[in-house]
A = this chain, B = another copy of it.
Amino acid sequence: MPATNGLHRVVIIGGGFGGLYAARAMSHPSLRVTLIDRRNFHLFQPLLYQVATGELSPANIAAPLRSLLRRQRQTDVLLAQAVDFDATGKRVILADGEVAYDSLIVAAGLEFNYFGHDEWRPLAPGLKSIEDATTIRARVLTAFEAAERTTDPAVRHRLLTFVVVGGGATGVELAGAFAELARYTLRRDFRSIDPTEARVVLVEARPRLLEAFPDDLSDKTSQTLARLGVTVYPNAMVTDVRADQVTIQRGDAKEVIPTGNVLWTAGVRTTPLAGRLAAATGAATDRLGRIVVGPDLTIAGHPEIFVIGDMAHFEHQGGQPLPGVAPVAMQQGRYAAQVIAARVGGKRPTRPFRYHDRGSMAVIGRSSAVADLGWTHLSGFTAWFAWLFIHLLYLAQFQNRLLVLVQWAWNYVTWNRSARLITEPPGSKTRSSSQQPAGGDDGSSTDTR
């Protein structure tokens, strides 16, 4: 393989689970690694919903990439945006420059799919970034504040209605967390409203929640959510989203739900970068735009280009692509690093990638979760405790782990959530002195924030 100054240049795009674990596994001394990300931190996405619901602070679930890779002296971190590829010249085109590679690992993730209704995006934010989470947190808390001030019962009802679209793990976790926020955490904080009036609706297009889980765990999930007061609508499609209402189609019936709080977790598709990669390499893509990769995670005809994580379509047993979850990305990252090290070391080809599925879990609320470990199904407190333990283990930095544990323990004992801050966009200093607080009788004003 080509090399420069005796060094083999590896470029990794994306500092999520796939990219980070690939970078961490790059230990061969002949490798020179550059990790490119638009953000300066790795985000522990599975806990992002806890930032949106005020349980954790952003810094609890994010760690600077430079810190995480500090000990790997042969690794550079570059805060930059990749926009295109020159597969022939082996260069990644950045928004403001370019980087040459000998091996390339693309791990740029997915974004939410609004199914052709991108105009819904500002009205029904998804949950992918820290900013999404703090936006949702501010919007939901502002709705409670506005409800406290209104005297119109219909307006109050609308302000206190929360619709979560998508019954996968993120949707279930958000719906459960919002129901608990309203019923327990905010219970004694308000004088004019009863936070238990809040209504949380979870809309899922398919017949059951958590489709990736076994039937019995889906049922347990529905029961637990019902006990928390969440209204679950299976077999339901969102057909319209506006600033003050959402329209749901259930069979032949249409229901208009007045609400200014719609959260989107319904579907994903690749970012435009995947399209650029497919165009540059001739790679095949699936219907979500994911890049189809071979047994060694490389693109056909380009053994030097790996695609891993959510962005990759890797066919598992029975032709099913692997799900877009953190363990898949982590294992693929480590595998790609091993393949590159083996090649550079002149070793024989490694065996094809195989995913070791250790199970999946989703948390529903305080002391309640479901877990499918393959050999057994857990639910309730046992599953929740296992979830807690595993997430603490995986949290990237020891400090975060300790802080999150203290925060969780405190929240558990007190039913409190301390990170309930309504913050404004940074840099909007001039606005802040003239800005009107959202409130009065028109909750729809919160939708533009």
Q: Is A215 an interface residue (CB 8 A)?
A: no
Residues on B with beta carbons closer than 8 Å to the beta carbon of A428: 131, 425
Residue in B78, B149, B190, B418 whose CB lies within 8 Å of A149: B78
Give A418 to B396 CA distance when docked, in angstroms.
Answer: 12
Residues on B with beta carbons closer than 8 Å to the beta carbon of A389: none
**Interface size bracket, A side:** 35 or more
Give A423 to B62 CA distance when docked, in angstroms.
Answer: 11
Contact (Cβ within 8 A) B421 A62: yes
Of the stretches A244-252, A361-369, A433-441, the one at the interface is A433-441
Q: Is A222 an interface residue (CB 8 A)?
A: no
Residues on B with beta carbons closer than 8 Å to the beta carbon of A196: none
Contact (Cβ within 8 A) B39 A422: yes
Contact (Cβ within 8 A) A190 B66: yes
Of the stretches A165-173, A274-282, A311-319, A402-410, the one at the interface is A402-410
Residue in B399, B414, B426 whose CB lies within 8 Å of A416: B399
Q: Is A432 an interface residue (CB 8 A)?
A: yes
Of A57, A410, A449, the most chain B CB neighbours within 10 A belong to A57
Closest Cβ of chain B to A237, distance in Å, is 23
Q: Is A157 an interface residue (CB 8 A)?
A: no
Beyond A421-B59, A423-B58, A427-B135, is A402–B410 a contact (Cβ under 8 Å)? yes
Contact (Cβ within 8 A) B436 A70: no
Interface residues, chain A, with chain B CB atoms under 8 Å away: 38-41, 57-60, 62-64, 66-67, 70, 73, 76, 78-81, 95-97, 111, 121-122, 125, 129-132, 134-135, 138, 141-142, 145, 148-149, 186, 188-191, 271-272, 397, 399-400, 402-403, 406-407, 410, 414, 416, 418-430, 432-433, 435-440, 449
Nearest chain-B residue to A134 (Cβ)? Answer: B426
Contact (Cβ within 8 A) B80 A271: no
Beyond A57-B59, A399-B414, A425-B425, is A437–B38 a contact (Cβ under 8 Å)? yes
Contact (Cβ within 8 A) B131 A40: no
Contact (Cβ within 8 A) A141 B40: yes
Chain copies in the assembled complex? 2
Contact (Cβ within 8 A) A403 B399: no
Contact (Cβ within 8 A) A400 B425: no
Nearest chain-B residue to A411 (Cβ)? Answer: B399
Residue in B62, B189, B402 whose CB lies within 8 Å of A64: B189
A-B contact pairs, 24 of them (CB 8 A): A41-B421, A41-B422, A58-B423, A59-B418, A62-B421, A64-B420, A64-B421, A66-B186, A67-B418, A73-B191, A76-B191, A80-B439, A81-B437, A111-B433, A122-B427, A122-B429, A129-B432, A130-B421, A130-B423, A397-B418, A399-B410, A399-B414, A424-B426, A425-B428
Of A38, A78, A423, the most chain B CB neighbours within 10 A belong to A423
Residue in B60, B272, B403, B437 whose CB lies within 8 Å of A79: B437
Give A407 to B398 CA distance when docked, in angstroms.
Answer: 11
Contact (Cβ within 8 A) A420 B97: no
Residue in B135, B138, B402, B436 whose CB lies within 8 Å of A81: B436
Contact (Cβ within 8 A) A66 B131: no
Closest Cβ of chain B to A378, distance in Å, is 30
Contact (Cβ within 8 A) A420 B40: yes
Closest Cβ of chain B to A280, distance in Å, is 19
Give A191 to B65 CA distance when docked, in angstroms.
Answer: 13
Give A416 to B400 CA distance when docked, in angstroms.
Answer: 12
Closest Cβ of chain B to A147, distance in Å, is 11
Residue in B63, B125, B271 whose CB lies within 8 Å of A429: B125
Residues on B with beta carbons closer than 8 Å to the beta carbon of A191: 73, 76
Contact (Cβ within 8 A) B426 A135: yes
Closest Cβ of chain B to A275, distance in Å, is 13
Contact (Cβ within 8 A) B422 A425: no
Residues on B with beta carbons closer than 8 Å to the beta carbon of A122: 427, 429-430
Closest Cβ of chain B to A301, distance in Å, is 29
Closest Cβ of chain B to A333, distance in Å, is 21
